[in-house]
Amino acid sequence: MIDIEKTALAVDEAARSATAIPQFSSSMDITVDEAYQVQALSLEQRYKRGERQIGIKMGLTSRAKMVQVGVDEVIWGRLTDAMLVDDGGEIDIANYVHPRAEPEIAFLMKKSLSGLVSPAQALAAVEAIAPAIEIIDSRYQNFKFSLADVVADNSSSSGFVMGPWARPDTDTSNLGVVFEFDGRPVQIGSTAAILGNPARSLAAGSRMLGAQGLSVEAGWIVMAGGVTAAEALRPGVHVSNTVENLGRVGFTVRS
């Protein structure tokens, strides 16, 4: 039997102290449903320290990401205000265990969503769209984990950066994406890699949260998922994501 509270505290401390821990699935049976309970309780510890939830991230929404981590299910995690990095800002690599970054787009919600909705209905609830970068960080030793381990670890979400907001009717179904380190492309792709259309990722978020009695709230940010495989970060590198028709966003890893 998994101890949900003990496991949640372990995840929270690993993230807070940037310390690697053994994967839970190597020593106990943990289901994905239990992992979401761990995730929720671990985030409660952050809220007690003053953070507040401001959105969600969708994960494993592209074939590249599924192959990279060896799983085949879409997942979601929680975003807090403390995870937001200013566009053009800096992060300290010492605050992470295995930091990586991936190009994404973000939705700003004007209406709440919950349960089964179509991609068109999901987009109708959007106020604006922006180019974005997610900073992911698995807290597990040797970067080894199961699907349940990832979910328990807030789906590896650690930070996010958003660029300028664009109109909500901007067609994001197939936009070119260039992800660069120090001005050199390290990944090139299309937003179509996000479940064929990022709107499907938003609809999936509504469905998955609805199944847990939750909602994608008005005013929240929804990170749609990685367009490409994630790239490992290193001190001193400048990271940028340019999305066709949306613009550019970036940050620097402090030397």
Q: Over the stretch 86-144, which tens digit does the pLDDT of each residue have?
A: 999 999 999 999 999 999 999 999 999 999 999 999 999 999 999 999 999 999 998 88
Q: Residue 72 above 70 pLDDT?
A: no
Give the pair of three-digit tokens for residue 180.
């660069």
CA distance 151 to 159: 16
Give the pair of three-digit tokens for residue 31.
């289901």
Note the pLDDT tens digit of each residue in 221-233: 999 999 998 999 9
**Owning domain of residue 49:** 4-253
Note the pLDDT tens digit of each residue in 138-196: 999 988 888 899 999 999 999 999 999 999 999 999 999 999 999 999 999 999 999 99
Q: What is the pLDDT of residue 182?
A: 98
Quick one: pLDDT band at residue 26, thresholds 50, 70, 90?
A: confident
Q: Residue 73 above 80 pLDDT?
A: no
Please tell me the total count of domains within the chain.
Answer: 1
Give the pair of three-digit tokens for residue 165.
């907001």
Query: Which CATH number does the domain housing residue 51 bear?
Result: 3.90.850.10
Note the pLDDT tens digit of each residue in 34-57: 999 999 999 999 999 999 999 999
Which residues 6+ apart lie within 8 Å of 38 measured at CB?
2, 4, 7, 8, 11, 30, 151, 152
Q: What is the pTM of this model?
A: 0.95
Q: Which residue, among 97, 89, 87, has the nearest Cα to 130 in the 3D structure?
A: 87
